[in-house]
């Protein structure tokens, strides 16, 4: 009986964890020089939105564009539970999983060629509210980006 209960718990836990990832959104990326706008839910932030509820400042840098991208990559590599999915000279896409249930957030960075900024977007794949997790994550990355860029 005890073995059956343990097996049931393991199966339920695995099912819940696998189900928390959700499919990769089809609108990820840069479209007409912009990151995709946030959905009408409070679980997304973007530096390229007109919505005050979702707005967050882009990262600014003073070093060369190439150095800024390397600094960003160093910060991303240090993120716990982060998986780099795409990297180019203008775009970086990372999936970040939550610690307990494995919920996936899509975190994007757009590095325009003619601006000294990195635009950001971080959105939860599932659910309605994220309790401010995406905003906190971007601000933490900003802090680390700033600190790393001064080395």
> In the predicted model, is pLDDT for residue 17 greater than 50?
no
**Per CATH, which fold does 37-149 belong to?**
TATA-Binding Protein (3.30.310)
Higher pLDDT among residues 74 and 101, named by residue: 74
Tokens (6 digits) for 25? 């959104």
34-42 mean pLDDT: 94
CA separation, residue 6 to residues 3, 11, 50, 102, 146 (Å): 5, 9, 49, 21, 47
Q: What angle do CA 83, 70, 111 make, to 5 degrees?
A: 85
User: Across all residues in the chain, what is the average pLDDT?
Assistant: 88
pLDDT at 22 over 60: yes
């Amino acid at each position: 009986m005890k073995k059956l209960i343990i097996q049931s718990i393991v199966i339920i836990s695995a099912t819940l964890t696998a189900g928390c990832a959700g499919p990769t959104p089809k609108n990820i990326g840069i479209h007409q020089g912009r990151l995709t706008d946030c959905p009408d839910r409070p679980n997304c932030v973007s530096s390229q939105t007109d919505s005050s509820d979702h707005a967050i400042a882009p990262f600014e840098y003073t070093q060369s564009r190439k150095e800024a991208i390397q600094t960003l990559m160093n910060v991303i590599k240090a993120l716990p539970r982060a998986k780099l999915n795409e990297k180019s000279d203008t775009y970086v896409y990372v999936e970040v999983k939550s610690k307990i249930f494995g919920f996936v957030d899509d975190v994007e960075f757009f590095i325009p060629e003619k601006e000294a900024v990195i635009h950001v977007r971080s959105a939860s794949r599932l659910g309605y509210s994220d309790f401010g997790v995406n905003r906190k994550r971007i601000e933490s990355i900003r802090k680390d980006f700033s600190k790393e860029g001064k080395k």
